[in-house]
Amino acid sequence: MHKSAARYLIFFQYTGTKYSGVMKTAADQAVEGVENHLESAVRKLKPVNEVSVVISSRTDTGVHALCNSAHVDIQRRGDKPPLLEQDLVDALNFHLKAEPIRITRAYRVHSDFHARYRAVSRTYVYRFASGLRHHTEMPVTERDLCWALRDTDIQFWELTFKSRSFLYRQVRRMTGALVAVGQGRLSVRQIQELLEARDSLAFPQNLTAPAHGLFLTNIQYRETDLGACRLAEQ
């Protein structure tokens, strides 16, 4: 008789340029999501159970993550004990080595833990550079990782946003609105009108900041959730 599956919370990072976003895409789609590769790596560990990775925070096409998270159940064959956390990290990274995706940490958690609903906060950073006469002046190390704005002197800026959750494209829209105000394309009064409208369709689509400047940088959980399984076993 098989033992029950062990649930793990994994933290991972990725460069989002080549992916359709973090969420899984159908097999017939040309561009895959990060989740497709995570599930493929878990399947290569040959678990007994059907593999399903539950992502905590979705990111769109071109958005990057220094820290995203997900939970996954792994039931090993026969009487094999649950994988140690570091062994899981090492094994998944071995199978992900061809992709710009890396597992940074793993925690054994209780079977009712949910990566999305137990998250206390999410932090995003939007990066942009001002002062470029043309986008080709962007340093090669920053291409596809920063929004290039034209001005006089090159300066790099970072805007940080932290909340328990965000609406669809909320950070990109807030960033675009701030930049538009700074450039004189949108007035403070117009911002107030957009807020009072309470309608996402009222926001001008051409003001949304591009995806490649956005990074998901942190998902925070309560320490009691992360250490609960260890304490129960002691």
Instruction: Enumerate the active-site residues.
Output: 60
Nearest residue to 100 via CA among 126, 62, 134: 62
Rounded to whole angstroms, the Cα distance separating 65 from 12 reads 8
What's the N-to-C CA distance of the chain in angstroms?
Answer: 25
**Element spanning 91, H or E:** helix 85-95
Length of the chain, in residues? 234
Q: Where are any strands of DSSP class E within 80-224? A: 101-109, 121-130, 147-148, 155-163, 214-220
CA angle 185/189/195 to nearest 5° reads 100
From the CB of residue 195, how many other CB atoms can be counted at a distance below 10 Å?
A: 11
